[in-house]
Structure 1
Amino acid sequence: MKASEILNINKAGWEKAAERFFGRTALPEYGPFAMNEDKLKLLGNISGQKVLDVGCGSGHSLQYMGSQGADELWGLDLTTKQVETAKEVLADQQVKVSLFESPMEENPGLPSNYFDIVYSIYALGWTYDLKRTLTNVHNYLKPGGIFVFSWEHPIHDRLSYEQSTFTLHKSYVLEGPEYNEAWHNNVVTYHRKLTTYINTLIECGFTIEKVIDDVELPNTPSEDASKWYSTQKAELVPATFIIKASKKG
């Protein structure tokens, strides 16, 4: 499947679904059944920092960064509707806000060696070219800057709930683009092993500081074990992983 085809499919899918994801999976949350930033403190002191959100969605993570004292708020997203919504969400910010409609594989005019913090909350896995995207992120960061991202754990969608039990129904080791079951096969994501994310970060010049796939379960289980994110599945495999990396100073 060509990159242009993947982008067109995913842009169309997100334009239709944007309202459904308004404010979902945004900082201080990192993702389903994961510890949040209040506990993990991966971003450090945000006050006075220039920050970039890769896959900014409805702008709620940038809103959180603004509430923590960030000096400049920058974001990019693939879809028109998300960028327009983010502009509305961030309209009352008292600091510089710069938003771009762009694939993450392309630089829409972002400065190099500029940002103290780049982050991506449940968005990086949409890239069709991980190395190109991470190279961009590395270029955006100041020496000594940090990159934090979360994404669905690549083992999570390998399990399906069938006849009251979880079954491994897809290969974990076979990588490549595939229609996403959670989206009823209307969009395309690229399955990658966890080690692929780690090794590509290293290849792009990052230093890995922390890899987290701990599970934090609620007190009550999901009513429906077949839900995409259920506590029953989370008891077996993590739903989310988080990586913190840095650019050498």
Structure 2
Amino acid sequence: MVNVLSTNKQSWDEAAERFFGRNPLPEYGPMAPCEDELNLFGDVKNLKVLDIGCGSGHSLQYMKEREAAELWGLDLSKKQIELATTLLENSAQPVRLFESPMEVNPGLPYDYYDIVYSIFAIGWTTNLEKTLANINSYLKKGGIFIFSWEHPLYSRIGNKDGVLTFGKSYHEEGSYDHEAWNSTAIMQQFRVSTYINALVDNGFQIERVIEDARWSEEDAQRHEKRWYTYEKAKAIPTTLIVKCRKL
């Protein structure tokens, strides 16, 4: 695990500028429904929020603008934490950021947060069970956990000359080096059922599972010849979104 974390840390330190402000809340992922439509968070005013994989801090900035009481975040990348610190330095709310992998508690309080969320970051974990157990321990009873991640089908299916084909079995799970990255980046591949069952096993009640896609004429041009393409999104969801609650 240490080697994977070290590799991913280096990859994110190198890629941080390239991903600055990309797809933060209210977006959940490329060509996916936005929070403005889904309203999964509801009113966050005066609530304590924690961002798992906070990146450049733009999702926390979204929470700041909606008057969350406290802004907390953690990220594996030192560079990302530096960018988030700069972005949020003039916040009226308390901001506490930690450079840490999500599998480790870097000093976060237990039974404290009203909302924990993770936008397109959960698949970087090296231990899904440990990460979800940590998240459950941070939340108050009845607290909400919301996450989005690349849909498990998306990387398994390729698009060659308009023909969609399976590149590997949906049943295959585990770590893989993501081909869309410029350097080595080790992510985790799980089925939808694996996420759902792991959440249940770690004390969560599932409230919503969303696999919808959204696109526009702008998306057809914006995502041309990229990893997330308009052509594939018409047939396969790019993003899995789950809302659950601590029992």
**TM-score category, normalised to shorter length:** over 0.9
Contact 2:11 2:183 in 1 (8 A): no
Partners of 1:202 and 1:215 in 2: CA distance = 25
> In structure 2, what is the Cα distance between the partners aligned to 1:72 and 1:154?
32
- Quote the offset at 1:126 in angstroms: 0.4
Q: Which residue of 1 aligns with 2:5?
A: 7
User: What is the letter of the counterpart of residue 97 of structure 2?
Assistant: L
Tell me the CA shift for residue 185 of structure 1.
Answer: 5.9
Secondary structure of 2:71's partner?
A: strand
Of 213-222 and 16-25, more deviation after overlay is shown by 213-222
Match for 2:207: what amino acid? E
Decide which of 167, 174, 177 is 1:176's aligned counterpart: 174
Does structure 2 retain, via aligned residues, the 8 Å contact 1:202–1:208? yes
TM-score, scaled to structure 2? 0.96
1:75 and 2:95 are equivalent in the alignment: no
Q: Which of 141, 144, 147 is matched with 1:143 structurally? A: 141
TM alignment of 1:77-92, pairs within 5 A: 77-92=75-90
Stretch moving more, 219-228 or 235-244: 219-228
Task: Determine whether 1:23 maps to 2:21.
Answer: yes
Q: Which residue of 1 aligns with 2:115?
A: 117
How far is 1:178 from its partner? 0.8
The 2-side partners of 1:100 and 1:114 are apart by 16
4+ residue runs over 3 A deviation: 223-226
Contact 1:221/1:232, CA 8 A, preserved across alignment:
no
- CA shift, 1:55, in A, is 0.2
* Aligned residue type for 2:164: F
Match for residue 232 of structure 1?
A: 231
Provide the aligned length of Structure 1 versus Structure 2: 246
Query: Structure 2 CA distance, aligned partners of 1:102 and 1:240?
Result: 25
- In structure 2, do the counterparts of structure 1 residues 221 and 147 end up closer, same or farther at CA, with 3 Å as the change threshold? closer
1:198 partner SS: helix
Give 2:49's aligned residue: 51
In 2, the alpha carbon distance for the partners of 1:221 and 1:8 equals 34
Structure 1 residue 171 displacement after superposition = 1.3
* Residues 1:221 and 1:107: Cα distance change in structure 2 (over 3 Å): closer
| Distance in structure 2 (CA, Å) of the matches to 1:187 and 1:98 | 27
What is the root-mean-square deviation of aligned Cα atoms in Å? 1.3
- Rounded to whole Å, the distance in 2 between the matches of 1:143 and 1:214 is 29
**CA distance, structure 1, for counterparts of residue 90 and residue 225 of structure 2:** 40
- State percent identity of aligned pairs: 50
Q: Distance in 2 between matches of 1:215 and 1:86?
A: 29
Q: Tell me which amino acid in the other structure corresponds to 1:244.
A: K
Query: In the TM superposition, what whole-angstrom CA distance separates every residue of 1:74-118 from its partner, at most 9, and x where no partner exists?
Result: 000001000011000001110100000000000000000000000
**CA offset at residue 219 of structure 1?**
3.0
Mapped partners of 1:8, 1:193: distance in 2 = 25
SS of 1:189's partner is strand
CA distance in 2, matches of 1:73, 1:220: 33
Contact 2:102 2:125 in 1 (8 A): yes
TM-score by length of 1: 0.96
Q: Deviations over 1:116-136 (max 9, x none)?
A: 000000001100100000000
Gaps of 5+ in 1: none
Supply the AA of the counterpart residue of 1:192.
Answer: F
Residue of structure 1 equivalent to 2:58: 60
Q: Which letter maps to 2:147?
A: F
Q: CA deviation at 1:14?
A: 0.4
